[in-house]
Amino acid sequence: MVDQLRMFLDRVAAAVPPPDLVNEITKLAAEFNARLQSHEVAEYNQVAGQLIDLPGRAQLLTPAYTVEELDDQRAAGHVRFGRHHLGNNGAVHGGAIPLLFDDLLGRLALVGGRPKSRTAYLHIDYRSITPIDEDLQFEAWFEREEGRKRVLRGAIRHNERVCAEAHGLFVALRPGQP
């Protein structure tokens, strides 16, 4: 379902459908929304975003990324942005790139039984165009840990070319802290 929804968002962004088809799809989408509404659960019971074996952990906000290497200091894998994440002229939207890094660095900050943390800051350097519809490689790693503070870095590459780099501070939450 998540794969189909990701594809649907890419198709919606890319298509200029005739009015009859727009009406038909609107009716179908309204029917799906009504059917899902009756199965709504509280945040802590939802599965979207929790399925860590699925690309992008089944969280539709992020692009479908796949983690291929992981230890308690480093993660690496690949990602592909589609038309849904297009900014313009074939390049990924500048807001979609920190979104990916927040997810990657935020997830790595939890690995190895570390307590939950929140992003205190996330700095992005846009080094070159990040293309849509291409397989890109990502890497995330720990720079240092000092008490509750975890400083992580990340990079997205298109083959040998660096597209974007990230530098983030994640602060471990105290018990009961939201």
Ligand X SMILES: CCCCC/C=C\C/C=C\C/C=C\C/C=C\CCCC(=O)SCCNC(=O)CCNC(=O)[C@H](O)C(C)(C)COP(=O)(O)OP(=O)(O)OC[C@H]1O[C@@H](n2cnc3c(N)ncnc32)[C@H](O)[C@@H]1OP(=O)(O)O
Alpha helices in 38-162 (DSSP H): 96-108
- For ligand X, how many residues bind (rule: CB under 6 A)? 23
- When asked if residue 120 is in the footprint of ligand X (CB under 6 A), the reply is yes
- When asked if residue 86 is in the footprint of ligand X (CB under 6 A), the reply is no
Contacts 24+ apart (CB under 8 A), 86-94: 86/13, 86/132, 90/129, 90/131, 90/132, 91/129, 91/130, 91/131, 91/132, 92/130, 92/131, 92/132, 94/126
Stretch that binds ligand X, among 27-35, 80-88, 111-119, 152-160 (CB under 6 A): 111-119
93 within 8 A of 83, measured Cβ to Cβ: no
- When asked if residue 121 is in the footprint of ligand X (CB under 6 A), the reply is yes
Task: Quote the least distance from Cβ 111 to ligand X, whole Å.
Answer: 5
- When asked if residue 48 is in the footprint of ligand X (CB under 6 A), the reply is no
Angstrom CA distances, 44 to 40, 71, 110, 175, stand at 12, 26, 17, 17
Q: Which residue is nearest to ligand X (CB)?
A: 106
| Binding residue (CB under 6 A) for ligand X from 52, 61, 125, 162 | 52
Stretch that binds ligand X, among 1-9, 27-35, 67-75, 126-134 (CB under 6 A): 67-75
Report d(CA 65, CA 78) in Å as an integer: 6
Return residues touching ligand X (CB under 6 A): 52, 57, 67, 70, 75, 102-104, 106-108, 110-111, 118-121, 140, 148-149, 169, 171, 177
